[in-house]
Structure 1
């Protein structure tokens, strides 16, 4: 998909975009001036050939083409989760009572519990997870 993002500058030569598969960068604007001297990587980094991004809020506007043409792993995962959900016809009901009609749903922190991802499913999704760089 093509998308235009407005981002905060970080005072560095490089900035990380919220994408897992950067295909092209048709336009980069910093402080209302178009910049053409930059490089980018498929993992989402844009690096200026000279200078640095200002350390200011909303000073970077970038138009990008990014995403995946297909994601068969994600499609398979959705099918797998749907199958697991069908295997539990009561869903997240943990208690039922007919006299006076009472139903208790599984909950976590006050919210109705949902179908959680398995550890193996999280591993399969890892390549599609957005990365905003190392934790500080």
Structure 2
């Protein structure tokens, strides 16, 4: 361990609360498959399969601002659901890779309370166990790390948290 001292290692483990909040937020976003909050305007270039319906990676669709399929403006032909499903009133979506281009607004104005609670719980759990350590012994020095399925745990979601997030999850 040339060039690494104990204070350098300790500095890496002393992370502020914002770090854990950001990490917990990203864990939730990764699990759900989209950003959840705030409302943003985003452009999607999507692969088409020639069907009549298209599922966007969102569970809170606001406005469809622009939409083309194979370069043709189909905005006036779209029917939408708030859960991100789009349907053409006539015709079918492109069959081409990247053949559908949309600009939409989506997301929640305010983070839903159940999602905020899960993020706070994850951050608290992660911050109280630096580097995933779940057990320490001093003599003759032993450390035990938390694992999920045999893999070192970052900020794992509990099954109850996954169940609570499922209504926000893009499938």
Match runs of 1:77-96 below 5 Å: 77-85=118-126, 88=129, 91-94=132-135, 96=137
Which is richer in helix?
2
Which is richer in strand?
1
Partner of 2:63: 24
Please report the RMSD computed on the Cα atoms of aligned residues, expressed in angstroms.
2.5
Match runs of 1:118-133 below 5 Å: 118-131=158-171
CA distance in 1 between counterparts of 2:129 and 2:144 reads 15
Match of 1:75 among 100, 108, 116: 116
- The question of 1:64 aligning with 2:104 is answered yes
What SS does the corresponding residue of 2:102 show, helix, strand or coil?
A: strand
CA distance in 1 between counterparts of 2:124 and 2:42 reads 34
Q: Which runs of 5+ in 1 are unaligned?
A: 132-136
Q: Which runs of 5+ in 2 are unaligned?
A: 1-39
**Cα displacement (A) at 1:90:** 8.1
CA distance in 2 between counterparts of 1:108 and 1:124 reads 19
From the superposition, tell whether residues 103 and 21 of structure 1 become closer, same or farther in structure 2 (CA, over 3 Å). same
TM-score by length of 1: 0.79
Aligned length: 130
- The Cα offsets for residues 70-127 of structure 1, whole Å up to 9 and x where unpaired, read as 222111112223343456578424455555x664534457742234322221121112
From the superposition, tell whether residues 51 and 90 of structure 1 become closer, same or farther in structure 2 (CA, over 3 Å). closer
